[in-house]
């Protein structure tokens, strides 16, 4: 037998351990793992030179934009950024122009993506105005739904408890997860209005509008509304201790509730607001150290399930206004997340096992991304290959993303991505994209 290719001299992450081995790849799958002498024949050997081979990492929280927001990011630049950042699969958020919230908008988005993507991409949809359409959107291939509670983005009236309950039932029937941006719309709008009227337009005023209570109230409301449903809620970018406590209580009550945190909310705090300015305006906002410590506690005890980058690209001019209400919220994260997390592993702040769980294994479980997340025979040949030995400086000018800004610019980090392999094909190699547009696959909901 002759296989398509073989990775040799790998230090691969297999079942929680790092093992020196070779990995044979056939038709986009891992066909054999073992010593080089045990490998089948091949015409293509890829010498990994002792670098660390991780299962292809998955970023469950990415705003790839394109369509009406292509000036911020498009499928080509966004998935190039994913490959450069070591992500072999990303899940795309629906707050697009047009909003992804119907079978048709989803279909059109998938068609446009197919020609451009470099890594695997799955799609979220917002709730449609007619809840009956939820099943049609899943049939079209959405991997999950997303509910923005902070402002009205999807078709469902956020202030209508019974409509929300109906949607929660429908999404539960479909057995797809519902990712939630938990901020209470009414409370947030009132806070913002008051501050704007008093002409309070500074950085700290943004924090004053997006209070901890704004998050906690939304989390508790949705947990309550979904109490008698089997809805699989996944709370995005958690930022408060009290929010986490509510989620932990729901987990203890045997509910299928999970949550995500971003590197921003783990590595930065409100103390950094002056230093980084508008760059770090994001929603939910950076919190004080007490909240940050609670999130770390959640990482350590396993109550936080995943890390998502919340890659939120914007044009440089959109981040520049001196009036905080005009600043677009969000930070790009695809090209910073892995080195930031890897640096924590290097500093013994996070274990390698936890990192792989948070960035791959748990994500696969929550979103049913079968055949991914583990280096095992028969699984997809998605690999993130990392130089764990050299320290380097994060540099936004090297970003493949259109959004060339980051609070982490100039930070000393470890964990440079040397190669990204998607479905057996090398996509990113030593700083360059080496594959054709359209090399990635669209991931549709597995109906099984």
Q: Are 306 and 341 in contact (CB under 8 A)?
A: no
For ligand DOR, the binding residues (CB under 6 A) are 63, 95, 181, 282-283, 312, 329-330
Q: Return the one option of Zn ion, ligand DOR, none that residue 329 interacts with (CB less than 5 to 8 A, by type).
A: ligand DOR
Q: Return the one option of ligand DOR, Zn ion, none that residue 30 interacts with (CB less than 5 to 8 A, by type).
A: none
Minimum CB distance to ligand DOR smaller for 55 or for 285: 285
CA distance 263 to 292: 11
Q: Are 367 and 38 in contact (CB under 8 A)?
A: no
Q: Are 405 and 279 in contact (CB under 8 A)?
A: yes
Minimum CB distance to ligand DOR smaller for 80 or for 327: 327
CA distance 84 to 80: 6
* Catalytic residue of the set 59, 205, 305, 310: 310
CA distance 251 to 298: 13
Minimum CB distance to ligand DOR smaller for 24 or for 187: 187
CA distance 89 to 121: 6
Is residue 136 among the annotated active site residues? no
Q: Return the one option of ligand DOR, Zn ion, none that residue 373 interacts with (CB less than 5 to 8 A, by type).
A: none
Contacts of 108 (CB under 8 A, 6+ apart): none
Minimum CB distance to ligand DOR smaller for 276 or for 414: 276
Minimum CB distance to Zn ion smaller for 73 or for 310: 310
Residue nearest to ligand DOR (CB): 330
Pairing label, strands 29-34, 17-26: antiparallel
Q: Return the one option of Zn ion, ligand DOR, none that residue 282 interacts with (CB less than 5 to 8 A, by type).
A: ligand DOR
Concatenated DSSP letters of 3-37: ESEEEEEEEEEETTEEEEEEEEEETTEEEEEE-GG
Half-sphere exposure of 338 (CA within 13 A, CB side): 29
- For residue 99, the minimal CB distance to ligand DOR (Å) is 11
Residue nearest to Zn ion (CB): 181
Q: Return the one option of Zn ion, ligand DOR, none that residue 267 interacts with (CB less than 5 to 8 A, by type).
A: none
- Residue reference for tokens 């094909």: 425
Q: Are 59 and 99 in contact (CB under 8 A)?
A: no
Both structure tokens of 109: 């988005």
CA distance 376 to 190: 52
* Phi (first) and psi of residue 338, to 5 degrees: -65, -50
For Zn ion, the binding residues (CB under 5 A) are 181, 310
- For residue 67, the minimal CB distance to ligand DOR (Å) is 13
Minimum CB distance to ligand DOR smaller for 282 or for 385: 282
Question: Active-site residue numbers?
Answer: 310
């Amino acid at each position: 037998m002759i296989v398509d290719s073989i990775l040799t001299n790998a230090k691969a992450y297999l079942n929680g351990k790092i093992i020196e081995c070779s990995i044979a790849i056939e038709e986009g799958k891992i066909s054999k793992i073992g010593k080089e002498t045990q490998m089948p024949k091949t015409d293509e050997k890829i010498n990994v030179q002792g670098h660390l081979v991780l299962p292809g990492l998955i970023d469950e929280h990415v705003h790839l934009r394109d369509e009406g927001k292509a000036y911020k990011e498009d499928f080509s630049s966004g998935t190039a950024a994913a490959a450069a950042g070591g992500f072999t699969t990303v899940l795309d958020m629906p707050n697009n122009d047009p909003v992804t919230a119907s079978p048709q908008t989803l279909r059109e988005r998938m068609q446009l993506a197919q020609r451009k993507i470099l890594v695997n991409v799955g799609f979220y949809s917002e709730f449609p105005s007619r809840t009956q359409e939820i099943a049609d959107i899943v049939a079209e291939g959405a991997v999950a739904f997303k509910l923005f509670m902070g402002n009205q983005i999807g078709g469902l009236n956020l202030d209508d408890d019974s409509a929300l309950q109906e949607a929660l039932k429908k999404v539960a029937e479909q057995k797809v997860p519902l990712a939630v941006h938990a901020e209470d719309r009414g409370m947030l709008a009132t806070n913002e209005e008051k501050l704007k009227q008093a002409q309070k337009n500074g950085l700290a005023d943004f924090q004053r509008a997006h209070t901890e209570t704004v998050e906690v109230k939304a989390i508790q409301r949705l947990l309550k509304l979904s109490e008698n449903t089997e809805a699989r809620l996944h709370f995005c970018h958690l930022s408060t201790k009290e929010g986490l406590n509510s989620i932990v209580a729901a987990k203890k009550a045997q509910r299928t509730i999970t949550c995500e945190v971003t590197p921003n909310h783990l590595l930065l705090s409100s103390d950094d607001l002056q230093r980084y300015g508008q760059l770090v305006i994001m929603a939910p906002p950076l919190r004080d150290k007490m909240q940050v410590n609670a999130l770390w506690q959640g990482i350590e005890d396993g109550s936080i399930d995943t890390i998502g980058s919340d890659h939120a690209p914007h044009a440089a001019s959109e981040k520049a206004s001196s009036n905080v209400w005009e600043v677009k919220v969000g930070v790009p994260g695809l090209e910073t997340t892995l080195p930031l997390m890897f640096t924590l592993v290097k500093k013994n702040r996070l274990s390698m096992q936890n990192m792989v769980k948070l960035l791959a294994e748990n994500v696969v479980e929550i979103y049913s991304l079968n055949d991914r997340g583990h280096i095992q025979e028969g699984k997809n040949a998605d690999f993130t290959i990392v130089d764990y030995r050299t320290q380097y400086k994060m540099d936004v000018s090297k970003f493949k993303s259109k959004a060339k800004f980051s609070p982490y610019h100039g930070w000393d980090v470890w964990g440079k991505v040397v190669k990204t392999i998607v479905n057996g094909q090398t996509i990113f190699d030593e700083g360059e994209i080496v594959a054709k547009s359209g090399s990635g696959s669209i991931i549709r909901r597995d109906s099984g």
